[in-house]
Structures are given as C-alpha cells and as structure tokens.
Amino acid sequence: MSKLLIVGTVAFDAIETPFGKTDKILGGAATYIGLSASNFNIQSGIVSVVGGDFPEEYLTMLNNKNVDTEGIEIVKEGKTFFWSGKYHNDMNSRDTLITELNVLEHFNPVVPQKFKNSEIVLLGNLHPLVQNAVLEQMETKPKLVVLDTMNFWMDIALPELIEVIKKVDVITINDEEARQLSGEYSLRVAARKIQEMGPKYVVIKKGEHGALLFNDDQVFFAPALPLEEVFDPTGAGDTFAGGFAGYLAKTKDISFENMKNAVVYGSNLASFCVEKFGTERMQTITKEEIYDRLEQFKELTQYEMSISN
Amino acid sequence: MSKLLIVGTVAFDAIETPFGKTDKILGGAATYIGLSASNFNIQSGIVSVVGGDFPEEYLTMLNNKNVDTEGIEIVKEGKTFFWSGKYHNDMNSRDTLITELNVLEHFNPVVPQKFKNSEIVLLGNLHPLVQNAVLEQMETKPKLVVLDTMNFWMDIALPELIEVIKKVDVITINDEEARQLSGEYSLRVAARKIQEMGPKYVVIKKGEHGALLFNDDQVFFAPALPLEEVFDPTGAGDTFAGGFAGYLAKTKDISFENMKNAVVYGSNLASFCVEKFGTERMQTITKEEIYDRLEQFKELTQYEMSISN
C-alpha cells in the first residue's frame, strides 16, 4: 500500500459566508487534505501541530478514516492555530478577519519513522521552511513531491519559498498566485516560468473555473462541476490537492496521462467540499457519491467528434 | 447545402487594448459571425445595414468567403454604426468610449427571398425588435433559431427581449448577463430559469473561462484554449456563436451530443479571433489550423479513467 505523507495546518476556523456563519470549527490545510486522501485505499499520515485546546474527537475522527495522526504534535500548554475569514457575495474573494498563529509560531515538524519512506509527499500550505524541514527528514527519495502554497508566503518568505519550489515535482497554486510568482499575466506563460523554477508539473487552480495542469508543452484542463449552490469554499484547494495526491498514491502511476485523472479526482472531491460549512461534507462522502460524480464529470467534458470537411 | 441566416451589426470599431490601438477597422457582430461561419461548407447570408462610408472591399471580402451580402442594406447618405472601446489590463472588462448608432437607428431588416427558408437562423446582438422582425419574415419554420444578446438590451429593451427569447431554441449570453437576466448567481440555476423563459438550450459564455451548454438536466463544458497571449477579445463571443451555428448547419444534426461538438468548434474559432486586432485573424484561418487546434482541444479535455476501488 502506498504511503502519502501530508504536512500542513490542523486548525480552528471561524467562517462567514453569504449563507451563514460558524463558531470555531475544525479546519486547516492538512485536515482537508487528509480527509480528501482518505477516499483512496492508501496509508496517509499528517505532520502538524495543535494546542491543548484541540478536541481528542477530531483526531479520533481522522484515525477512523485511516489518517495517521502520530505526526500531529500536541503542545499541551499551547493554543491551536486559528483563522477567521469572511467571504464576499461572489464567494470568489474573502477577507481574513483573524489569524492567530499560536502553536504554529515555533513549530518544528517531526516526520514519524514509518512515513520517512513515503512514496508521495504533499507539502500543504505552511511556511516554506517547515515544508523544507519535512523534505529533509525523508530517508528514501519520494517518487513525487507536491507543493501547495499561497500568496501569503510569496509576500513574507519568497526566498525560502523559491528554495523549496526547486525541490518539488508538482506545484499547485491558484491563478492569481501563479501570476504573482511568475510576474506573467498569461497562465500559459506563467506556468512555463514556474516550471523553469523547478517543478516539472504546474497545477493552476481557478476555483469555480476549474484547474489547469501543465507539463512542458502539454496542457490539461478540468472544470469545476457547475453546482446549484456553493456554500463555503474554505478548504476546496486543499481538498483538490489531497484528491490529486491521493489518486496518484493509489494508482502508483505518475505519468502525465494519469495526472489528468488525478486532476479530475481532485476537482471531484473539491466539488463536495464546498457544499457544506468546513469539513462537514468531507466527513460523510461515500464511494458511490464519488463514482456518481465522476460520471457527471465525464458527461460534462467528454465528446465524440469526427473531423471531416 | 444548409442555409444559415445571420442578422447583426456590420460596423466600424476603434479598439484600444494593453497591446495597442486601432483606427476605425471592420467590426460588428454579423461580420464576426459570418467570418466564423465561413469555415463550414454552408450557404450563409447576412442581414444588416451600413452607410455610404462603408468600403466596398469589405463586402467583397465577405463574398469571397462565400458569405452572401445581398441582405446588407447600404444607406448611401448615412453613416455606418461605429463603436469604440478600451479594454482594461486584465482584458476581461472594457469601457465603451463611443457608440454612434447612425444607420442602425432606423434599420428595418429585409431578409432576401433565398434566405427565407434557412434551416438555421442566428439572431446576433442587435435590438430585439430587429431580431424579431427577421424571424417574422421566415417563410418556413427554421430547424433552429439561435439568439445572441447582451446586457445593453436587458437594460433598455427587456420586455421586447423577453418576447423574442420566447421564440428561440438556443440563447448564447455571457455569465454576467445570465445572472442579470435570471436574477440568480449560480449559473446552473440561472440556466434553468432562462430555459423556463423559452429556449431549450442555454449557452453561457465565460470568456477565457470557457462556455457551458445546458439542456434540461444535462450540462456540457468546453474550456477556452489557454493562449500565450490574448491580443483583442473583440468579437470573440460573436465568433463563438458563428462557429456554433455554422457547425450545426453543416452537420444538420441538432442533438445535444452534436451541440457539444458545436460548442467545441465555437471555442476553437474564438481562440483564433482573439489573437489579432479586429477581424484580421479570422480572415486568414486555414482548415489545417482549425483541425490542428481541434486536436489541441481534445488533448486539453479528454481523458481515460477506469473507475475501480
């Protein structure tokens, strides 16, 4: 069974959208990634840190989904990372209201021994130095390292980010971040410039507008499923990354052709994530629902055209 | 050979984009539609109006591409419709600088006798009363009527627009217009509401983010081709509609399955349109270039996934 090592935040979120608001609920990049990856028959484990205020039941929930939490350090006297944000009416942009780093501030990630030979490593959104510290602990070279990041780190830790970007095979970022990182408006040109920074594959996430996968001169695109209603976009990008990496870990095939499927799987899982607040929907997905939606993706994008004069 | 009747503006445009600006050049919805449809082996004709200032050579160019211009009235003492606009840096939005209706103000469309039995009618962006007047002149019921419109007519002639929408089979509008027309933010819900207004098929154009085709509970999506550079988006929507209708006229198959291909063809042709200012690129496309880009579309969107545990 393939191993997927996940590093990222495990956190509390308080979210406000046009549809309502929540108190502190379970959130964090690694949480979404773990839940997303739990839909594949793989061995996944999270490296992260929480405070003494983090409910045991959340860890149990992850364990019940076969997500290993040995690598989640619990700092008893500390408080869990907390983020609060409010989405605008179009759901495409948001304001951060509160960021309390808490235990994240002095986080030294420790990779459990059993995950030091993971085939796939997903460096979720966190300080690039933490992402790098995880990579350095690997005892065997992973088959594939996937990095997810955001504009925040480009703003405050660009040199460190560029160092870790050099070492990864795949980077997943959103369209605005791809433009910021490359200084190019055209996503096609941006992707090429980012490839020159290191990653062989660049995935550009466009939210409701889908995702693009670039490799050399090849491009693949998967749309987001057009939904009746988007309830809460929080974690959709992490869920996408978790589905992408989870599918590759399960199928053990990192060819470009199979990465297309991984992008479709990532979009598929992200389409569930946004249907309810926080991780709620991700905790209840069934295999049947996933397969049903894979069919919908197929109908949405596949066509038969014979070209003739 | 199928007949495609096109109604829309034939005009002068002056365009400014981040890449440069033009003097008065050939433009107009019907011009783009006609050029796009000229890539299919069909008989197409334009109903429109121009002034005495409209160069004969533009009509000759259209005729050379097998676009019939008998229905383009020439008002010798009048001036051709003129539009001037400036695109913002992101190329997704623009300001209209000048609109001179000129001969359009008192335009009474006259459908040439030979086009009164057209199988497909494409009502391009024009006052809904003009669109309706064209429909009323048809002697045989068209197999398919496609309507393209814009927010401008929703703002100043909504009741008339709703009347003509009732009579058409397909409506093509952009995402913001679909939201305005339906009062719904979700494009899926918006499409359903617009279908309830009359059209069995709704095509929502999202510019660089592709196009959605809705019919009852079916949805199909075609992305825009990710381009190195978008030079001038003017006419891309009209070109899309012309490719969509032209393909259906050529293949004589208005099933949902074949409309998927029509959407791909429309996106394909629109991807050429934006590569140069105005109609310049549309005048030089070759069949080989189109086929080559159809292959690129296939690679961009088609995948093979076997679903298994």
For the stretch B167-196, pLDDT in tens is 999 999 999 999 999 999 999 999 999 999
Output the tens digit of pLDDT for each of chain B's 309 residues: 899 999 999 999 999 998 899 999 999 999 999 999 999 999 999 999 999 999 999 999 999 999 999 999 999 999 999 999 999 987 878 999 999 999 999 999 999 999 999 999 999 999 999 999 999 999 999 999 999 999 999 999 999 999 999 999 999 999 999 999 999 999 999 999 999 999 999 999 999 999 999 999 999 999 999 998 889 999 999 999 999 999 999 999 999 999 999 999 999 999 999 999 999 999 999 999 999 999 999 999 999 987 664
Q: Minimal CA–CA distance to B178: which of B169, B186, B166, B170?
A: B186
Q: What is the largest CA-CA distance in chain A?
A: 73
DSSP string covering B100-150, please?
E-GGGGG------GGGTT-SEEEE-SS-HHHHHHHHHT-SS--SEEEEE--
Instruction: Note the pTM of the prediction, 2 decimals.
Output: 0.94
Nearest CA in chain A to B307: A291
**Chain A: nearest CA to B124, how far in angstroms?**
26
Give the HSE-up count for residue A218: Cα atoms under 13 Å, Cβ half-sphere: 14
Of B218, B228, B261, Cβ closest to residue A303: B261
Contacting B with CB below 8 Å, chain A residues are 41, 89-90, 185-189, 206, 209-210, 212, 218-221, 223, 226-230, 257, 260-261, 264, 287, 291, 294, 298-305, 307, 309
- Test A299 with B264 for CB contact under 8 angstroms: no
- Strand bridging mode A120-123 / A144-148: parallel
pLDDT tens column, B98-139 = 999 999 999 999 999 999 999 999 999 999 999 999 999 999
Contacting A with CB below 8 Å, chain B residues are 41, 89-90, 185-189, 206, 209-210, 212, 218-221, 223, 226-230, 257, 260-261, 264, 287, 291, 294, 298-305, 307, 309
Is A262 within 8 Å of A211 (Cβ atoms)?
no
pLDDT tens column, A125-161 = 999 999 999 999 999 999 999 999 999 999 999 999 9
Q: Minimal CA–CA distance to A273: which of A228, A226, A240, A250?
A: A240
Is A155 within 8 Å of A176 (Cβ atoms)?
no
Domains located in chain A, CATH noted = 3-299 (3.40.1190.20)
Residue A309 has pLDDT above 60, yes or no: no
pLDDT at B103: 97
Distances (CA, A) of A278 to A15, A67, A187, A231: 8, 18, 29, 9
Is B293 within 8 Å of B255 (Cβ atoms)?
no
- Test B209 with A212 for CB contact under 8 angstroms: no
Is B33 within 8 Å of B62 (Cβ atoms)?
no
Of A187, A206, A226, Cβ closest to residue B187: A226
Question: Side chain identity at A292, as an amino acid letter?
Answer: D
- Test B304 with A257 for CB contact under 8 angstroms: yes
Q: How many CB atoms lie within 10 A of CB B198?
A: 16
Q: How many CB atoms lie within 10 A of CB A216?
A: 10
A217: CB partners within 8 A, 6+ apart: none
Distances (CA, A) of A305 to A78, A102, A129, A159, A269: 60, 56, 49, 47, 29
**Chain B: nearest CA to A303, how far in angstroms?**
7
Paired strand residues for B221 = B212
Of B186, B228, B305, Cβ closest to residue A228: B186
CA dist A34 and A37 (Å) reads 5
CA dist A116 and A125 (Å) reads 20
User: Which chain B residues are Cβ-neighbours of A264 within 8 angstroms?
Assistant: 303, 305
CA dist A31 and A62 (Å) reads 8
Nearest CA in chain B to A190: B228
User: Which chain B residues are Cβ-neighbours of A90 within 8 angstroms?
Assistant: 185
Can you tell me the ipTM of this complex? 0.91
